[in-house]
Structures are given as structure tokens and as C-alpha cells.
Amino acid sequence: MTDTSRPASPSVAIIGGGPAGLMAAEVLATAGIRVDLYDAMPSVGRKFLLAGVGGMNITHSEARGAFLARYGERREEIARLLAEFDADALRRWIHDLGIDTFVGTSGRVFPTDMKAAPLLRAWLKRLRELGVQLHTRHRWPGWNADGGLRMETAEGERPIHADAVLLALGGGSWPRLGSDGSWVAHLQQAGVPIAPLQPSNCGFDVAAWSPLLRDKFAGAPLKNVALGLTGEAQRQGEFVLTATGIEGSLVYALSAGIRQRISRDGSCTVCLDLLPQRSEEALGKALSKPRGSHSMAKHLHRQAGLDGVKAALLRELAPAEHFADPLRLAAAIKALPIELHQPRPLAEAISSAGGVPFEALDKGLMLTALPGTFCAGEMLDWEAPTGGYLLTACFASGRAAGLGIAHWLQRGA
């Protein structure tokens, strides 16, 4: 006999099956709350799996201060989220799923098998055991007149009613994997302010490469170089020359600053050091040695170790007269300017900036304009470089939203 006197457990609808949505689902289900998670794609975690191609970089072992600095203008807001679930807590959570991790030489943290799929499988198994109901091929096109959720399915549209809703729909990058930014219009119509979505961790275009550089060296990596915004400290690493400009991890680390300067000034010049391991003085002395009958290309190779794409880029960007002056050529090698004019399209970016401002949310990540509706993950207005920082904040925001929902439901009980 069913006990009808017992109140039904509150229910939560989570829209979006990425790390933030899945983490919130775990928090809520563990608290005994009924959770239905909806995703527009045929399976959940698609962008998470893509992030694991080539090695699942889950977080970073960097010291807390340096770690938080990666979040730029939103450092304080992300710090509050990470205070409850930081990189170490994330690693412990992964270990509890039966997945070991290790710290690479760069300080990045990876599962021992370097893969995302085993982690996701173990996680989904846990969620199902907790009673989380996963509904794929369910697309959210907004709200009904009565405030309920509309949900498009293969069988047609149906209404969804829940005691609380979490939106974890991602940003606007990689739309083919589901995070297409279509939610922006729905929230704006509901009175929620939205910072425009912009590409982050993206490549940038120059005015034009010469046909020779473009055709011969597009796709070539520049390794062991340093890059920085004019007037700021440089970072060492590597990036890739593309047919239209530059991209890669070193560029991604600077993408926020580059984008902001382009928006402000119309272009942004970054300064490239082709040989950060050698001083300008030492290069000047080496290049001042007589080259005799050797070509300039051979001289650069013998005295500076420059060839391939590095030598080609030097030829592309350094004034021709510098090649007749060893000291000016050494200076160009150490500070080669690359003028960038625009970011690559949002659909090509690894992540996006912009979204729901923290100022539109309470401490539990609930929208002040829509009580009972919460937001988490990349749809919030923050950004970070690659290296595990993106995923760490997504996990932490999902956990914070889950706790915020549980607290809000408890207050209303």
C-alpha cells in the first residue's frame, strides 16, 4: 500500500549534460532529490569527450594563487566556487570513481590512461545508481506561458514541470556538440542580462600571410618560443602558424587580452621571441661572425639554429634591411611583432567568453530575475586558458549550483 501522506521528494530538471550539469545532478541525487537531466544530443558529455582527444587534461597542479590568476577579471567569483571544490578536491573525486591521475611535466593533471571515456562511463554508472534519469535528444526551446519548460523530443514537444531548474547549456563554441548559445535569446526575453558571447581560447588572423609562408608553412608548429602582449611579460611555450594567422596553447593563454585590445584598438600586436633561451647580446655576437660564401639562411642556421618555420616567419616580418645588420637582426629575433586583426569565429573556439554575469545571480547561482532557475558552467560570464582550468571551474560551478538548489528547496519546504 502506497503511503500518500508522505510528501513527494522535490524534483529538479537539469538542462545540459556536460560536466557542470552532471556534477549538479550527483550533488542533488546524493541529497535524495529527484533529478531528470535533459540533453539535446544523442548522448551526454560530448564536448567533455572531445576535450579528452589527445589526452584528458582534467585540472592543473599549479599553486592556488597562480591557479586563480588564470581566471582574470572573474578571479574573485571563481575563487568562491573553488573554495569548496578545488583542483585537489576534483582529483580526489576522480580517484573515488576508480580512476587514477598523474601530474605531467607541465603541471597538468591527467587520468593515468589519458582518456575521458572511462571516467565518463564510471560517472554515469554512479549517477544511474543514484537514480538520476537521463533524457537525450531533448532540446529546450524556452518556457511555456505558465512558466513550465518546453521540451522538444522526437515524439513532439512536451511540457516539463519541476520544483527547480538548472541551466548548464555551455557557451557558444563547438555548436555541433550542442553548446550553440541558443539559450541567450530565451534568457534575454525573460529579463536576464547577458554579456555577448565571444571566442576564447581561439586563433587570431593577421591581415594576410604571403603566399609562400601560407602555402609552405601553414600548420607548422613554433616550439620553444615566447609570446606576449606589447608592454607585458612574455610566456614560453608553443603555437601553430595557420593559413590565416596563429593559434595554439601559447596563443590561447593570451586570447582574452588579445581580444580586448582588438576590440579597443582595432588590432593587437603581440611580440614573439623566436629564441628565448638566448640573449640578444649573444645572438648579436654570433650573427656578427663573417658568413663568407654562406647564404643568409645557412648563416642563421649555423649561428642561431634558426630554420624552417621560424626562419620563414623572420623573413616574413622583419624589415629587409635588418638582414644586413647583425645587431638589428638579433633584436628582431628577440622581439618580432605580429599584428593580429580579428579572432577566429566563435564556432571554431575551444571555449567562449561572455554569458550570464555573476551579478545576475545570487550566491547559490540562482537567477535573481527567475527564482528557482539556476545557471552553471560555461554559460556563466568567465573565461580561462586551456590547461585544466576550464574543466575545474565547470565542475566547481556545477557543484555550487547543486548545493544552491538543495538549499533553496530546503528553505521553501
Is 161 inside any structural domain? yes
pLDDT digits (tens, 9 = 90+) for 298-326: 999 999 999 999 999 999 999 999 999 99
Closest CA to 111 of 63, 48, 66: 48
**What is the pLDDT at residue 176?**
85
**What is the pLDDT at residue 4?**
42
In this structure, the answer to whether residues 389 and 291 fall within a common structural domain is no
- Whole-angstrom Cα distance, residue 249 to residue 174? 18
- Maximum pairwise Cα distance, the chain: 100
CB 403 within 8 A of CB 395: no
Element containing residue 101 per DSSP (H, E): strand 101-103
More confident site: 20 or 291: 20
Residues in the chain: 413
**What is the pLDDT at residue 73?**
93
pLDDT digits (tens, 9 = 90+) for 324-371: 999 999 999 999 999 999 999 999 999 999 999 999 999 999 999 999
More confident site: 167 or 291: 167
Element containing residue 209 per DSSP (H, E): none
Please report, rounded to a whole number, the percentage of residues in the chain having pLDDT higher than 70.
98
Is 265 inside any structural domain? yes
Please report, rounded to a whole number, the percentage of residues in the chain having pLDDT higher than 90.
89
In this structure, the answer to whether residues 229 and 302 fall within a common structural domain is yes
For residue 55, what pLDDT band results from cuts at 50, 70 and 90? confident
**What is the pLDDT at residue 82?**
97
Domain stop point among 343, 365, 400: 343
User: What are the C-alpha distances in Å from 294 to residues 193, 286, 291, 299, 301?
Assistant: 63, 14, 5, 6, 10
Residue 204, beta-bridge partner list: 246, 343
In this structure, the answer to whether residues 402 and 385 fall within a common structural domain is yes
Tell the residue number behind the cell numbers 643568409, with chain if given. 296
User: What are the C-alpha distances in Å from 317 to residues 220, 271, 334, 349?
Assistant: 17, 11, 12, 26
φ, ψ for residue 357 (rounded to 5)?
-70, 145
CB 33 within 8 A of CB 9: yes
Kindly report whether the global pTM for this prediction surpasses the value 0.75.
yes
In this structure, the answer to whether residues 50 and 168 fall within a common structural domain is yes
- Whole-angstrom Cα distance, residue 147 to residue 12? 15
Q: What CATH number does the domain containing 157 carry? A: 3.50.50.60
CB 350 within 8 A of CB 372: no
The whole-number average pLDDT for the span 265-283 is 96
- Whole-angstrom Cα distance, residue 122 to residue 10? 26
| Cβ atoms within 10 Å of 141's Cβ, excluding its own | 14
In this structure, the answer to whether residues 213 and 294 fall within a common structural domain is yes
End-to-end Cα distance, the chain: 25
pLDDT digits (tens, 9 = 90+) for 161-211: 999 999 999 999 888 888 899 999 999 999 999 999 999 999 999 999 999
Is 6 inside any structural domain? no
- Whole-angstrom Cα distance, residue 330 to residue 336? 10
Task: State the residue range of the domain holding 60.
Answer: 11-199+349-412
Element containing residue 354 per DSSP (H, E): strand 351-355
For residue 413, what pLDDT band results from cuts at 50, 70 and 90? low
Whether residue 2 is predicted with pLDDT greater than 70 in this model: the reply is: no
Helix (H/G/I), strand (E/B), else coil: 91: helix
In this structure, the answer to whether residues 215 and 337 fall within a common structural domain is yes
pLDDT digits (tens, 9 = 90+) for 238-260: 999 999 999 999 999 999 999 99
Is 4 inside any structural domain? no
